[in-house]
Structure 1
């Protein structure tokens, strides 16, 4: 485990859901995107999720943090390429990542905000081209919230119900 990941998990263990919210906000805002959700969310869920109430609270905290954090890159993108040039150093995103996300957005449209929340790297970066395209604010928030919710329920569910039960869970699906 990297030093960043160990530090994040230590903070989550110490501060609980507040640390989860801050992590989700910082990652999706791209202000501190050094810890991918693929690593931290399962480990944090393993630390904090013990029952249905903590499951729901964890998912809610992650989803609200992700949604609020995604507004910063969305508004930077909404202000145009000049704003990205001006604030890009705070977002910690490369031109290649932004170009790739823009191509994805042009190809798949506004729905890419929802489904992009499932894909590494694109999960946060997709907010920028959504802003460039002047996607409606309410639609952006709705798609971001639903995509983040689905991602968080999926990952947390796999942790809560256990990887060992995954084949059984898949076999009972219609």
Structure 2
């Protein structure tokens, strides 16, 4: 994967960085933890401009973010109501909780989107609740751009500083991603267990 990323960035420059980050956002298995450090390393070697590396990576990722946002917004959370009412026990969510989430999101959505863009694993999923709950596009765009720019700048800076040792970045971020994934899975099973216990108590 890293060899292909390196070749594409060498051949296509900023356009390649933006394209790869777009793919990374739409198809999460393509890791930004490789793309941006490679681009940062190229900037350190004088082959690219560091500000343009961050700008192109941010632009590509934001294009992917907008695609997910628009798709989720077109669907809308109300269309999911029959599924949630029918299969709520398996997704550990009731429609009342969805309605409470809508209220919470109106108050805290900006912080949720901004922070989510800075977290491995979660960052590619943030657009979905924002779109489903019909967050204002301007607000979504502003919060997403800030968080995405922070993430791409962080990874590019790491590549700029570490250069040939950029693979270490993937190891550290990969460990953080795995930890977040474990927490999410454990949280799901905890919710599932407590959800069934509540139903049994009723």
TM-score by length of 2: 0.60
Structure 2 partner of 1:172: none
1:65 positional shift: 1.1
Sort the Cα spacing of 1:8 and 1:161 in 2 relative to 1 into closer, same or farther, 3 A: closer
Q: As a proportion of its length, which structure holds more helix?
A: 2
**1:28-107 alignment to 2 at 5 Å?**
28=25, 30=26, 32-50=27-45, 54-80=49-75
In the alignment, the residues of structure 2 paired with residue 152 and residue 49 of structure 1 have an alpha-carbon distance, to the nearest angstrom, of 15
**Is 1:160 aligned to residue 157 of structure 2?**
no
Given the alignment, which residue of 11, 16, 24 partners 2:13?
16
Structure 1 partner of 2:131: 131
Unmatched segments (≥5 aa) in structure 2: 81-90, 92-97, 166-202
1:5 positional shift: 2.9
1:124 positional shift: 1.2
Unmatched segments (≥5 aa) in structure 1: 86-95, 97-101, 165-174
The question of whether the paired residues in 2 share the 8 Å contact of 1:16 and 1:48 is answered with no
In the alignment, the residues of structure 2 paired with residue 128 and residue 150 of structure 1 have an alpha-carbon distance, to the nearest angstrom, of 20
The 3-state SS of whatever aligns with 2:123 is helix
**Structure ID, larger Rg:** 2
- Which region of structure 1 is more displaced relative to structure 2, 142-151 or 36-45? 36-45
**Is 1:112 aligned to residue 109 of structure 2?**
no
1:6 positional shift: 2.1
Structure 2 partner of 1:92: none
In the alignment, the residues of structure 1 paired with residue 7 and residue 56 of structure 2 have an alpha-carbon distance, to the nearest angstrom, of 18
- Which region of structure 1 is more displaced relative to structure 2, 5-14 or 127-136? 5-14
1:49 positional shift: 4.1
Q: CA deviation digits over 1:88-127, x for unaligned, max 9?
A: xxxxxxxx8xxxxx98x96x63322111111122111110
How large is the Cα RMSD of the aligned pairs? Answer: 3.2
TM-score by length of 1: 0.69
Aligned residues: 144
